[in-house]
Amino acid sequence: MPRGVEKGPIMAEYQYLKVRDADGAAWISINRPPLNVLDIPTMEELNDALSKVKARESALCTLVLTAEGDKAFSAGVEVADHTPDKVDRMIEVFHQIFRHLDTLEIPTIASVKGAALGGGCEVALFCDMIVAAENLKIGQPEIKLGVFPPLAVVMLPRMVPEKRAFELLCGGEVIRAPEAVSLGLVNKVIPLASFAEEFGKFLATFTSLSGASLRATKRAIRAAKGLSFGDALARVERLYLHDLMPTEDAREGLTAFLEKRPAVWQNC
């Protein structure tokens, strides 16, 4: 294991978060029900927890971001933290969350029940995947307060057709689960009554696999983004030959298939 990587579970205690490890997944849950509003202290804790996940991600398959209760993943960033005396610090701390998420090589999954609005929507959208309960309400209503959401302004036009992105950002519309799925913002919608069980099955798809191979795949997806076909393929070929194929898990997976036995991964 590389020097500086923490093998053990996340041990920190937080006032506004719950953190745990389970079967190859790190879980970070916002713990400010019922609306799980993100104020500056909560976001500072979230940044600390994400830095701890980063320090030990070679022992993980994925990160799950979720929240306590069924009413809201997060109704957004605390409005009182947008005042002139706090807004600079708020933006600094809030955007650091995305800088942390952007450096993670493990896949990230937002487990979303209820409202994901404003900053809560941005956190969910920035994850690699979203699994939502049927009571999902998601959107960026900041324009109704006379402001715009910087992260969503960058990300949403990259995720949905530009004209729909304009409508959502400039109109502040909140959409429900069916449209979120049709726009490609959400991977899967689950009935609230069976959410825990069905989300567990979705998560097991990834935690049953090689963490090293998942990290290599995410690096390859990112490396190809925005490039021409030829440049993208050349870059991904290099990652496949030089980053993936020398790993123990790549050798183990191929050997296990040829030997007709289950693979035994180094991590996860």
Residues with active-site annotation:
122, 142
H/E run at residue 29:
strand 25-30
Contact 139, 172 (CB under 8 A): yes
Q: At what angle do helices 87-103 and 119-126 cross, to 10 degrees?
A: 20
Q: Alpha helix (H) ranges present in 104-227? A: 119-126, 150-159, 162-171, 177-182, 195-207, 211-224
* Gap between the Cα atoms of 83 and 92, Å rounded: 14
Residues in CB range of 258: below 8 A, 6 or more apart: none
Q: What are the DSSP calls for 218-239, one per residue?
A: HHHHHHHTTS-HHHHHHHHHHI
Residue 29 amino acid letter? S
Nearest to 44 by CA among 97, 100, 108, 111: 97
